């Protein structure tokens, strides 16, 4: 398979790229390097099946269609994950989490790519009354711009999937703490169904 990974130069995305390559897939990592690092992709760049595309998914959306054209699947990790300081620049969550997701979806629709794996968050549940929180819980009150933007993105994904023929969309969320950080990438690869025996992920910088 040919897989596009947005946010591919992040510490999660780069490990996912490694896992996909190890499973025999062709991988295109898309990143603007605002928070990602090329050094995380040092191993992946040694593979002839890997390509890095430097692209801002918000300001350069017109280039996105040519990147995803002919792709079997898109794994959308790129996002603004700065939960604590969201109110200092509220527009960032709207632009990077909602509008960028819409740009990805529109590029997929325009090119006929029908498989998406989206990295969501447990923050979409806000202050849930029950923990662990089941997915069937009532729609929660949002307590952060980050959670609200991810919930909005999930809504757009659902709408695109409903109107597209043969579309398949999966949303994955994982709450990571010090004891479970090493399990994140392995769990994410299992949920995608595209990785086998992924490497242990790097530590967050």
Report the catalytic residues: 146
- Angle, CA of 68, 70 and 72, to the nearest 5°: 85
Q: Which residues pair with 119 in a beta bridge?
A: 172
Q: Residue 169's closest CA among 130, 122, 118, 124? A: 118
CB pairs under 8 A, 24+ apart, for 80-88? 80/146, 80/149, 81/146, 82/146, 83/123, 83/144, 83/146, 83/147, 86/144, 86/145, 86/146, 87/145
Minimal CA–CA distance to 116: which of 144, 63, 153, 66? 153
Structure tokens at 105: 């979806």
């Amino acid at each position: 398979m040919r897989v596009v990974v947005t946010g591919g130069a992040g510490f999660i995305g780069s490990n996912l790229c490694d896992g996909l390559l190890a499973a025999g897939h062709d991988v295109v990592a898309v990143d603007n390097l605002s928070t990602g690092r090329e050094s995380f992709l040092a191993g992946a760049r040694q593979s002839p099946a890997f390509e890095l595309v430097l692209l801002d998914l918000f300001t350069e959306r017109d280039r996105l269609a040519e990147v995803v054209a002919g792709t079997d699947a898109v794994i959308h990790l790129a996002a603004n994950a700065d939960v604590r300081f969201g109110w200092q620049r509220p527009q960032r969550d709207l632009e990077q989490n909602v509008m960028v997701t819409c740009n990805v979806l529109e590029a997929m629709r325009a090119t006929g790519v029908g498989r998406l794996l989206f990295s969501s968050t447990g923050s979409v549940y806000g202050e849930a009354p029950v923990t662990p929180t089941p997915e069937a819980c009532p729609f929660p009150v949002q307590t952060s711009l980050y959670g609200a933007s991810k919930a909005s993105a999930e809504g757009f994904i659902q709408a695109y999937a409903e109107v597209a023929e043969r579309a398949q969309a999966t949303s994955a969320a994982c709450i990571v703490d010090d004891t479970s950080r090493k399990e994140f990438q392995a769990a994410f690869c299992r949920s995608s169904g595209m990785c086998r025996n992924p490497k242990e992920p790097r530590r967050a910088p």
